[in-house]
Amino acid sequence: MPFYDSPVDGARLHYVDHGPTTGPVAVFVSSAYLGYEMWEYQMLPLAEAGYRCVALDRRGHGRSEDTWLGYDLDTLADDLQGLLDHLDLRGVTLIGHSVGTAEVVRCLTRHGTARVDRVALVSGVSPGIVRSPGVPDGIDPALVRADEAAFRRDRAGWFTASADDFFAVGLPGIEVTEAYTRYLIDRCLVATPRAALGIRAVVASLDLTAELPGVAVPVLVVHGTHDTSAPLALTGERIARMVPDGTLKVYENAGHGLFATHAERLTEDLREFLDAASADSGLAQAA
C-alpha cells in the first residue's frame, strides 16, 4: 500500500497510482470527507484506457494518518505538492472536486506550475461560498454556524439528510441507488471528526478571488445546474470568468455528486481534456 510523508510535518499520507507509468498523468483531489474511492467511475476507465491516474487521501481521510493539526489550506496544498514531488510527476492535469478545487488552486499559486500543465475544477466551492468581503453574495455565516452545530451533533444523520440534495435526486435523468448512497455515507464517516471539522473550516473562510486570476494554465470548469452545495452562479461561473484561460461545461440537472450521477459524461470530458494536454505537450516539444 503506497504512502509518502507530508513535507510539512511528516504525516503518513496514502495515495493510489493506477494505470501505466508513462503517458498523460491525472492527479485527483477529493471532496470533503471522501478519499480516493469517490473517483472510481473516472479513475478506473481512464487507467484502463492508458492514462496514469493518481489520487490522494488527504490527512484524516481514507487510509491517511489522522493528525490534530494541518487542516489549513496551505498545509493541504503542500501535502498535494509533496505527492507530485514524491512521484516526480510532470505534465500533470490536476483534477479537484468541491473543496479539492481550493487545494488545487492554492497548490498552483503557492508552488507554481513546473509540474502542472492543466487543471479541472469539478463542482468547486471556489472562489468561496460563504459571505466575506471577496464573496459579498455568499451564504450567511450564521447559517453556516447553525449547519455546523447540526453536523457536530450527528454526523451520520447530517450526511443521510443531505444525500438527496447532494445527488439532486428527483430531477430528470438522475439515478443513484440506495446502496450506493449508503456506501458513500459510510466512506464519508471514515474521515475523522477532527479532519471533517477542519475541512469545514476551510470552506467557511474560503476566498480565492485574488488567486484565481493567477492560475496560468488552461482550466476546465465542470458544474451542475442544481448544485445546492456550491451554487453554479456563485462558484463555477465565477471561476470560469476569473481564470485567464477557463472553459465552463454545465451539466443540466446535475447536483454536487455529478461524479456519480453523470459519471460517463464527466469521464469523457476529462479524457478529452487530458488528450488536449498531450497534444499541447507534443506541439511544445516539436517547437
CA 192 – CA 239 distance, rounded (Å): 30
Q: Which residues pair with 96 in a beta bridge?
A: 29, 121
Is 256 a known active-site residue?
Answer: yes
Q: Which amino acid is at 51?
A: Y
- C-alpha distances in Å from residue 166, one per residue of 133, 176, 242: 27, 11, 26
CA 45 – CA 152 distance, rounded (Å): 37
For 197, the grid coordinates are: 471539522
Do the Cβ atoms of 122 and 97 come closer than 8 Å?
A: yes
Do the Cβ atoms of 36 and 15 come closer than 8 Å?
A: yes
Residue 268 host element (H or E): helix 263-286
Give the CB-side neighbour count of residue 93, counting CA atoms within 13 A. 30
SS3 category, 86? helix
Q: Which amino acid is at 37?
A: E
Is 262 a known active-site residue?
Answer: no
Query: 18, 256, 262, 269: which is the annotated catalytic residue?
Result: 256
For 278, the grid coordinates are: 498531450
Query: 117, 207, 227, 269: which is the annotated catalytic residue?
Result: 227
Do the Cβ atoms of 225 and 119 come closer than 8 Å?
A: no
Task: Give start and end residues of each alpha helix (H) in 98-192.
Answer: 99-111, 141-153, 155-167, 178-188
Is 162 a known active-site residue?
Answer: no
Do the Cβ atoms of 271 and 51 come closer than 8 Å?
A: yes
Query: Which residue is it, cell 443540466?
Result: 252
Query: 98, 123, 126, 162: which is the annotated catalytic residue?
Result: 98
Q: Which residues are catalytic?
A: 98, 227, 256
